[in-house]
C-alpha cells in the first residue's frame, strides 16, 4: 500500500509495475486531477448551521445555532421537547417534528464526537489545563480552518463548554480516558457503566456469545438511535432479525422471516413493510456498527468492575466474539476466520468453513493453513462462486 497525503493506492502493483503496465498507472492518475475535486466540507462546522424546514428553503432564527448547540451540551432533552408540538404557523412554513429531529440527531452526534475526542485527549492534565486545551484542540480541526472568524470563536466556545461538562460529571481522568476509547458520548458511556453495575451478577454467569447477546439486547435497543428498534411490530421482530443475522442467514431469508410475521413500522397514516435495503442497513449499520461500539464499552465497564483478571479475560472473549459476529453476520469463530482470510462474503465464508469440516479455524492464519491442507476440496467448491473467490483461493494456496 502506498500513500501520499490523503491519496491511497491499495494495490501496490499500480506503482511498482507502472513501467510494464503504463495504461493502468495513467488510468489511476486520471482519478487525481485537481480540476475534478469538489469543495471540502466539515460535519463539525455543520453544528453551527441553522435548522431548516423539510424543503431546505427556510431556516429557524430562534433559537440560534449556537443556542441549539449549547442546549445539546447542557440540556439536550429540553431542545428535543421544544420540537414535539410545533405551532401551526411553523407547520405551514414546511417544518416538521420528524425533519427537525433528524437535524438535531446529527448535531447531537457531533457533540458526542467532540466529547469522545476531548476525553481521548484528556491525558493527565489538571482540570483547568484540560479546559484550556479544549480551545486549542478546536483550533486544530478542519472545521476551524474552514470557518469564518465569528464561527471560529463559537467553535472554541462549544469545545470549552463540552470540556467543562465532562469535568463536572466525570471528574476522574482515568474514567475519562476509558470512556474516550469507547468512541461514545459521555452520557452513553455513563449509562453503560450504570447498567453493567446493576447487572453485574447476571453478567458473571454468561458462558457464551449467544447468552451475552440475549442479556444485552435491552441495553442495545435503549442506546441505539435507530427508530425501527422502537416502533416495529411485532415487538420481537427485530430481535429475531438480529438472531437470524448472528446465525448467518442470507438477507433474502431474513426478509422472508420478517414478512412471515407481517413485521412493519409506522409510515404516514399506515404501516410500512420492510424492504431488502432496510434489512441490509439494519444488519450492517445498526447491528454491525452501532451495537459493536456499545459492546466495546460494556467490555470496558465489566473489566473495570471485575474482581479478577481471569474473570475479565473470560468475559472479554465472549464480547470480542459477539462483536465480530455482529459485524460480519456469522455464526462462529470458524466462519469468521475464513471471512477474514479473504472469503469475505457471508455465504461463501460459511460454505468454506463447512467444507473444511475436519478442522476448526480459530484465526485467519489457521483458516489459510486449512485451505492449503484441503486445497482439492475447497478449490472445487469455490469454482461455483464468482471468479474473485477463485483468485483468493489461488493467492492462499500459491
pLDDT tens track for 59-80: 998 889 999 999 999 998 999 9
Q: Return the SS3 of 198.
A: helix
Residue 36's pLDDT is 65
Q: How far apart are CA 80 and CA 264, in angstroms?
A: 26
Cβ-based burial of 221 (10 A; exposed 0-12, middle 13-18, buried ≥19)? middle
Residue 218's pLDDT is 96
Residue 4's pLDDT is 41
Q: How far apart are CA 220 and CA 294, in angstroms?
A: 7
> Per-residue pLDDT for 3 more than 60?
no
Residue 5's pLDDT is 47
Full-model pTM: 0.83
Mean pLDDT of 337-346: 94
Element (H, E) at 272: strand 270-273
Cβ-based burial of 30 (10 A; exposed 0-12, middle 13-18, buried ≥19)? exposed
Mean pLDDT of 98-121: 93
Mean pLDDT of 321-328: 97
pLDDT tens track for 30-41: 777 766 666 667
> Per-residue pLDDT for 280 more than 70?
yes
Strand 270-273, strand 7-9: pairing? unpaired
Amino acid at each position: 500500500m502506498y500513500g501520499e497525503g490523503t491519496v491511497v493506492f491499495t494495490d501496490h502493483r499500480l506503482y511498482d509495475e507502472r513501467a510494464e503496465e503504463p495504461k493502468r498507472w495513467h488510468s489511476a492518475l486520471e482519478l487525481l486531477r485537481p480540476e475534478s475535486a469538489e469543495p471540502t466540507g466539515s460535519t463539525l462546522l455543520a453544528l453551527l448551521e441553522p435548522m431548516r424546514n423539510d424543503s431546505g428553503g427556510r431556516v429557524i432564527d430562534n433559537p440560534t445555532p449556537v443556542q441549539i448547540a449549547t442546549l445539546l451540551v447542557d440540556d439536550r432533552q429540553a431542545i428535543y421537547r421544544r420540537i414535539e408540538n410545533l405551532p401551526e404557523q411553523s407547520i405551514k412554513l414546511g417544518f416538521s417534528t420528524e425533519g427537525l429531529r433528524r437535524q438535531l440527531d446529527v448535531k447531537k452526534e457531533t457533540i458526542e464526537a467532540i466529547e469522545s475526542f476531548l476525553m481521548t485527549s484528556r491525558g493527565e492534565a489538571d482540570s483547568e489545563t484540560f479546559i484550556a486545551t479544549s480551545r486549542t484542540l478546536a483550533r486544530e480541526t478542519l472545521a476551524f480552518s474552514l470557518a469564518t472568524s465569528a464561527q471560529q470563536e463559537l467553535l472554541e466556545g462549544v469545545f470549552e463548554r463540552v470540556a467543562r461538562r465532562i469535568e463536572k460529571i466525570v471528574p476522574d481522568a482515568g474514567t475519562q480516558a476509558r470512556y474516550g476509547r469507547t468512541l461514545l458520548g459521555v452520557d452513553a458511556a455513563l449509562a453503560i457503566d450504570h447498567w453493567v453495575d446493576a447487572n453485574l451478577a447476571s453478567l458473571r454467569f454468561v458462558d457464551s456469545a449467544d447468552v451475552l447477546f440475549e442479556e444485552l439486547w435491552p441495553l442495545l435497543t435503549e442506546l441505539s438511535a435507530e427508530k425501527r428498534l422502537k416502533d416495529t411490530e411485532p415487538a420481537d421482530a427485530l430481535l429475531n432479525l438480529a438472531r437470524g443475522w448472528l446465525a448467518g442467514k442470507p438477507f433474502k431469508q431474513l426478509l422472508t422471516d420478517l414478512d412471515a410475521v407481517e413485521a412493519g413500522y409506522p409510515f404516514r397514516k399506515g404501516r410500512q413493510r420492510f424492504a431488502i435495503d432496510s434489512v441490509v442497513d439494519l444488519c450492517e449499520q445498526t447491528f454491525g456498527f452501532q451495537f459493536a461500539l456499545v459492546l466495546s464499552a460494556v467490555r470496558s465497564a465489566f473489566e473495570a468492575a471485575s474482581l479478577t483478571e481471569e474473570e475479565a479475560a473470560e468475559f472479554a472473549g465472549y464480547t470480542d466474539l459477539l462483536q465480530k459476529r455482529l459485524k460480519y453476520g456469522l455464526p462462529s469463530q470458524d466462519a469468521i476466520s475464513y471471512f477474514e482470510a479473504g472469503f469475505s462474503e457471508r455465504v461463501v465464508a460459511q460454505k468454506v468453513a463447512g467444507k473444511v469440516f475436519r478442522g476448526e479455524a480459530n484465526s485467519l492464519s489457521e483458516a489459510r493453513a486449512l485451505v492449503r491442507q484441503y486445497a482439492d476440496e475447497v478449490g472445487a467448491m469455490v469454482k461455483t462462486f464468482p471468479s474473485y473467490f477463485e483468485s483468493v483461493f489461488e493467492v492462499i494456496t500459491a
